Amino acid sequence: MADPYIKSLHIIFIVTWFAGLFYIVRLFVYQTEALAKAEPERTILAKQLNLMANRLWYIITWPSAVITLILGGTMIAQFPEMLKLPFMHIKLTFVFLLYVYHFYCHRIYKQLQNGIAKYSSTQLRIINEGATLILISVVFIIVLKNQFDWIKGTLGFILVTVALMIAIKIYKRIREKKNS
């Protein structure tokens, strides 16, 4: 069995990694909206938001991603039988997707740090839900383990995705009415 201290630290760094991923994309939304503002507001906001994003990304999010990977790898090394469990392959696939998402966010981060906004704030709100969907999936896989029902799991994933997209559209309408 994996060392409980390693497992505890792994969970802590997963939480801080997700916190960073959730908040960085929120900062991307603010950065994108700031770039659309008139001067001097644009420069003032961009400078502050770039600083905040930089600190979050390099002090919390990246270290948490690296430490999570190291601790997860350590647990697998301590208990390689984990890899024989079918649900672990599904979980590790989602973990891989989370790292893909992380690198995608890094690309957006670099663009915004250079004052380039390739996505609208609405698109970034949708991108922000990527980490949410992965988190929900991994938690259910880990809790349910081999009891996981593929049909219910797939339907649940689709329903959560649709609910998130509807919530984003409703929020956009509320913001548009408020700004009118």
What does the mean pLDDT of the chain come to?
91
- 82 and 146 in contact (C-beta within 8 Å)? no
Where do the structural domains in the chain lie, given as residue ranges? 4-179
Binding-site positions for heme? 10, 91
Tokens of residue 119, six digits: 């996505």
Residues 6+ apart with CB under 8 A from 14: 64, 68
pTM of the complete model:
0.86
- Of residues 137, 138, 117, the one with CA closest to residue 53: 117
CA distance 71 to 33: 37
Q: Which two tokens stand for residue 43?
A: 């420069």
Annotated binding site: 10, 91
pLDDT, tens digit, for every residue of 24-67? 999 999 999 999 999 999 999 999 999 999 999 999 999 999 99
Mean pLDDT of 138-146: 81
